[in-house]
Amino acid sequence: MTGPGQAAAPEQAAPGQATQGRAAPAAGQVGPGQVGYAQLWTVDPAAWRATGVAWASLAGLGERRAGELADGATVLRSGWSGQAAGAAEVRLAELRAELLTLAPAAIEADQTLAEFAARLTAARARLSAAVTLADTAGVLVDRWGQVRPDPGRLPADRAGPPVVAVASAIRGALDLAAAADREAADRLGQLAEAAGSGWSARPPPGRPAPGTDPNLVNLWWTGLTPAERRWLVGHEPDLVGRLDGIPAVARDQANRLLLGARREALLAQWGQLLARVPRGPVELAGLRRIDAALAGLDALAARLAAPETPRAYLLGLEVGGEGRAVVALGNPDRATGILTYVPGMTAGLDDATGELGRAARVLSRCAELAPGEETSAVLWLDYDAPDFLHEAALDWQARAAGDGLHRFQEGLRASHDGPAARQTVLGHSYGSLVVGTAARDHGLAADALVFVGSPGVGVAHASELGVPPGQVWASTAPDDVIRLTRPPGELIRPAINGISPLGALTDLLAGPGDERWFGRDPANPALDGMAKIVLGR
């Protein structure tokens, strides 16, 4: 297992490790279908990631060439007729269809290689942890991954458990890399086989209706053949891209295929508004909104095409209104831990990459704490966030978002591979009200909830949120203006009691109370039943 275009590196010792003496159990011996110790130390995951990006770039090339064929066919029709012209048009249509099938295949190759690179990175992190354990425990590891006690540090009568622990840790890292290698080879082999058959498939019967239970959607999807799934991705990307319960890889392929159409839709809206004469405040505001959405869409497309790690998966995209986007960093179906981040007021497509950056910072911290684990962070911006304070003073947008967030979390559970992941949902500002309302009214497939800078989450007690005891956390910065919010009645009461506006403001600034606009302050440790809701105590 080497990087693309690389020869297998010569075996060498891991940094700081002894290579002398007779080794104990051969944790790093290589058998059929296995990965060697030296191979894992020298493999370059970034090279595999770059190869995947190169494959993904072919999707755009195929679409451009298909467009050129369509334009050529239009020119031919205008000046050529008869039987030969008809035959030529049919053949051009066939060639165009073949070029369009390249796009989902190229995206699938990119996904496969990106996930391979991610698992190699996790395996190398585990191997590094095993080497650190060996250094600490007084165990020597040679260049082949064989282990033995250091006679100067570890007496023979106490050597057994440490040696076994190090050997087991090394074996676990190598096994993870070998499993990743086999899976990637299998997926690429299936892709090549499908390409050889011409991607032939008939449209599958039946379609889940919007709002269908994600578990039923997943059951329907897994009942399809691989050829039928690929047909749906290529011919009905709108359906595949929006259905919770369909695996992330398929939704990502479908939504990436729609990027061009989404941009064209925004340009069409822009042209319609620009054509209106005279243009009033409504048209000018619409043009500004579309300009911002186009900039946000272009920035998102650039992130999707970048060779950054972890790879971004586009799980949802809408350009109407303020725009919506659901983007995962890392494949959530493969992760052992998943964070769903719900942003707050003013969030929209125009700053989707900025919000994604906040999710990325949390994911980076996860990698620091558990470098050998695969984790995923999801930006869930699939609701109409309030733009102004008078909108944020009402909870109807949070209530409207509840069912969608519920279905999304259920979909993550339904499409996940292997043992269930630990799912955490984090809401910031107004997004915390979205999370709290969804948990209260619909239930969330979540193992923990986190509220940051919250104006209240719509409940008075953690038990109303439906997550395990002690798994609700909250934090508010000391200088966050959200600490000055009060319940509506508390703001009206001073006027009723004849207190001057200045006096009421003085009372508010005197210090934070226990109540927020939408209920009790979740970050206050003194509240009955909410004592567990403190981040970093």
For 171-184, how does the pLDDT look when each residue is reduced to its tens digit (9 = 90+)? 999 999 999 999 99
At residue 200, the pLDDT reads 64
Return phi, psi of residue 448, to 5°.
-155, 150
Share of the chain residues as helix, strand and coil, in percent rounded to the nearest 5 = 55, 10, 35
Confidence tier at 17 by pLDDT (50, 70, 90): very low
Confidence tier at 19 by pLDDT (50, 70, 90): very low
Confidence tier at 463 by pLDDT (50, 70, 90): confident
Share the mean pLDDT of the chain: 83
If you search the block for the tokens 């969030």, which residue do you land on? 347
Give the lowest-confidence range in 26-30, 112-116, 383-387. 26-30
Q: Is the pLDDT of residue 306 over 50?
A: yes
At residue 73, the pLDDT reads 76
Give the lowest-confidence range in 215-219, 260-264, 382-386, 451-455. 451-455
- Provide the token pair at 527: 């509240």
- Per-residue pLDDT tens digits for 363-376: 999 988 988 889 99
Q: Is the pLDDT of residue 157 over 80?
A: no
- The residue with greater pLDDT, 134 or 518, is 134
- Residue 465 has what DSSP assignment? G
* CA proximity to 178, closest of 116, 107, 114: 116
**Cα separations (Å) of 474 from 137, 173, 362, 436?**
38, 35, 15, 12
CA 170, CA 127: separation in Å to the nearest integer? 6
- The residue with greater pLDDT, 195 or 42, is 42
Threshold 0.85, pTM exceeds = no
At residue 202, the pLDDT reads 80
Contacts of 534 (CB under 8 A, 6+ apart): 473, 474, 475, 523, 525
Q: Is the pLDDT of residue 58 over 70?
A: yes
Q: DSSP labels for 413-464?
A: HHH--SSPPEEEEEEETHHHHHHHHHHHHT----SEEEEES-S--S-SSGGG
CA 189, CA 250: separation in Å to the nearest integer? 18
At residue 76, the pLDDT reads 77
CA 113, CA 401: separation in Å to the nearest integer? 35
At residue 500, the pLDDT reads 53
Helix or strand or coil: residue 244?
strand
**Average pLDDT estimate for 203-219:** 93
Give the lowest-confidence range in 21-35, 105-119, 178-192, 235-249. 21-35
Label the pairing between strands 375-381 and 422-428.
unpaired
* CA proximity to 126, closest of 173, 162, 163: 173
pLDDT > 90 fraction of the chain, expressed in percent and rounded: 53
Tell me the H-state helices in 276-421: 281-305, 352-369, 389-392, 396-415
At residue 505, the pLDDT reads 46
Give the lowest-confidence range in 191-205, 221-235, 408-422. 191-205
